[in-house]
Structure 1
Amino acid sequence: MYHNWLDRWDERRARRGEEEKETTDFVLDAERAFPGVKEVISLEAFCDFANQAVVDLAFFDEPSGSDQGFQKQDGWLRFPSGISTDVDENNVVWAKTTESGSFDQVVVVFHHWNATSRNRQITKFFSRRGITVVEIAMPYHFERQRPGSSHADYMLSANLGRTIQSVRQAVWDGRKLLRWLRSEGYREISVLGMSLGSWVAGLIAAHDPAVSKASLFLTAGSLADMVWTGRATRAIRDSLEPAIGLTDLRRAWAPLNMEKYAHRLARPDLDLHVVLAKRDKVVLPELSERFMHGLKVAGARPNILYLNCGHYSLARPPYILLAGLSLKRFLSATAKSAR
């Protein structure tokens, strides 16, 4: 009975989020995804460039590698993004810092798609336990929101190229922040990602050896499959479906598929923590399980917590408390790199 009520609660929450989303045009926009390429007018050519990006070890490396331009004031960090877009607000990265008074450990938080507020409970809980928390704004979120938009429609959309650019920008921004934190003296750096934020956190952990721990909430490997099957992205699928099928979408968004980087996430000096919802209609459990299987085959041993709730109801007691305690134990444990 309780779980039937919980499912209905999740569905009502999903419908509220759906009200502001509209179908849009399907666009390749390869120049955004793969800077320097000539005009691409065919899906097949786009997919060829996507395949090249998967094997390009530097695709998620910011060319300049700069940690300059940081401004710190009253618990806030501001710095220029390594990718310049046509939305000025999006070109400046904002991050809220809650310091713990210790440089032993810091965790960088990447929130879910269309997040409207940062999480004071998480920051207070961990900062009081000696872990500094930095909540970064992903592209088109919070202070980086596109003027006039009702949600972060440029972060994830039927524009294939802009979606790749946005996730790549989020990874570059996160890695730039990690370099700065390292230069400030933080000894252990962890990342925490929630839903769409888990893709960003996971890609950073896969490509940046500075990350010693990665906690991924409500995650899977294939972003294409999540968008195609998920309850929160029906408007995007409706926009995509007249022009592209799931098989081609997987090829086009291959650089954003964490299954492609399972071997990197299995590196011996990285600890992985995963929280999954058994009743999730946004990130389907079968997609999560496929990703977990791929990680294990690659040699990773993720610490997995399964909760009998939905995507949105994870934020409700008792599930959020169980997830929080599991995360606390994970972050408090000795990292592999120190063992």
Structure 2
Amino acid sequence: MYHSWLDRWDERRARRGEEGKKTTDFILDADRAFPGAGKIASVEEFCVLADQAVADPAFFDEPSESDQGFERTEGWLKFPSDIATDIAANNVVWAKITESGSFDRAMVIFHHWNASARNRQIASFFSRRGITVVEIAMPYHFERSRPGSLHADYMLSSNLGRTIQSIRQGVLDGRKLIHWLKSEGCREISVLGMSLGAWVAGLIAAHDPAVSKASLFLTAGSLADMVWIGRATRSIRDSLEPAIELTDLRRAWGPLNLENYAHSLARPDLDLHVVLAKRDKVVLPALSARFMQRLEDTGARPDILELNCGHYSLAIPPYILLAGLSLKRFLSSTGKSGLRSRSL
């Protein structure tokens, strides 16, 4: 009875999330994804460039290691993004800093797609426990929102190139912030990503050795599959389906597929923590399970917590409390403990 109510609660929340979403044109826009690509006219040509990006270890590298342009004022940090887009507000990165009294340990948070506010409770909880929390605005979110948009439609859409550019921008912004934290004397840096933010956080953890712990909430590997079958992205599938098949979309968005970087996530100096929802209709459990298996096959030993809730109901008690306590234990632990999976 309770779980039936929980499923209905999640569905109502999903319907509210559909407000303002609509079908849009399918666009390749390869030059946004792969600067210098020139005019690409076919899906196959786009996929070839995507295959090359997956094989390129520098695709998510910072274009610059400059610490110039950082401005810190009254709990806020802002700095220029190293990717310039046609939305001026999106080209300035904002981050909210909740200090712990020390920059020795820091956690950078990447919120979910279309988040409307930062999470003061999470920031306060961990800052009281000696971890400085930095909540970064992902592309087209919060202060970086596109004027007139009802949601962050430019970060995830049927424009293949803009989607890659946006997530790559989120990764480079996060790495630039992490570089700044290291320059400020931070010894241990963790990342926490939620849903779409988990893809950004996971890509950062796979490519940046400065990250020692990564916690991924509501994640899977293939962004293409998540969009194609997930509850929150029906309008994007409706836009994609007449123009591209799922097999090609997987290749086109291959640079964003965390499964392609599982070997990097399995590096010995990175600890992984994953929180999944058994009743998730947005990031389906089968997709998450496939990603967990891929991680295990490459030698990663993530600490996995599976909760009997949905994608949205993770945010309500008791599930958010269980997830928070699990994250607290993970951040407090030292060294790898081996694969551990708990189901509640």
Normalised by the length of structure 1, the TM-score is 0.98
Equivalent runs, 1:13-52 vs 2, <5 Å: 13-52=13-52
Structure-2 residue corresponding to 1:242: 242
Residue of structure 2 equivalent to 1:7: 7
Residue type at the aligned position of 2:239? S
Aligned to 1:288: 288
In structure 1, C-alpha distance between the alignment counterparts of 2:258 and 2:19, rounded to whole Å = 30
Deviation at 1:182, TM superposition (A): 0.3
Q: 1:326 is matched with which residue? A: 326
Query: Structure 1: which 5+ residue stretches go unaligned?
Result: none
2:273 corresponds to = 273
Q: Which residue of 2 aligns with 1:184?
A: 184
Rounded to whole Å, the distance in 2 between the matches of 1:335 and 1:136 is 27
Match of 1:173 in 2: 173
CA distance in 1, matches of 2:19, 2:180: 39
The answer to whether the 8 A contact 1:212-1:335 is kept is no
- Return structure 1 stretches of 4+ with deviation > 3 angstroms: none
Match of 1:210 in 2: 210
Q: Distance in 1 between matches of 2:232 and 2:310?
A: 12
Deviations 1:53-89, CA, capped at 9 Å, x for gaps: 0010100012222222100000000000000000000
Distance in 1 of aligned mates of 2:103 and 2:74: 18
Give me the whole-angstrom Cα distance separating, in 2, the residues matched to 1:231 and 1:97.
32
Residue 22 of structure 1, CA deviation = 0.4
Partner in structure 2 of residue 83 of structure 1 = 83
SS of 1:248 mapped into structure 2 = helix
SS in 2 for 1:173: helix
Whole-Å separation in 1 of the counterparts to 2:6 and 2:163:
32
How far did 1:205 drift? 0.1
Report if the CA contact (8 A) 1:202-1:258 is conserved: yes
Contact 1:50 1:254 in 2 (8 A): yes
The residue type paired with residue 288 of structure 1 is S
SS of the counterpart of 2:138? coil
SS at match of 1:66: coil
Q: Is the 8 A contact 1:221 1:258 kept in 2?
A: yes
Q: Distance in 2 between matches of 1:152 and 1:335?
A: 37
Name the aligned partner's letter for residue 247 of structure 1: T
- Tell me, in whole angstroms, the C-alpha distance in 2 between the residues paired with 1:61 and 1:252: 20
Q: Quick one: distance in 2 between partners of 1:67 and 1:313? A: 39
For structure 2, the 5+ residue unaligned runs are 337-344
**Aligned-CA RMSD value:** 0.6
Query: Identity of aligned pairs, percent?
Result: 80
Indicate yes or no: 2:174 matched with 1:151: no
CA offset at residue 102 of structure 1? 1.8
Provide the residue aligned with 1:303 in structure 2. 303
Deviations 1:247-277 (A, max 9, x none): 0100100000000000000000000000000
- Displacement of 1:335 in angstroms is 4.2
The equivalent of 2:317 in structure 1 is: 317
Q: Partner residue of 2:129?
A: 129
Preserved contact between residue 218 and residue 275 of structure 1 (Cα < 8 Å): yes
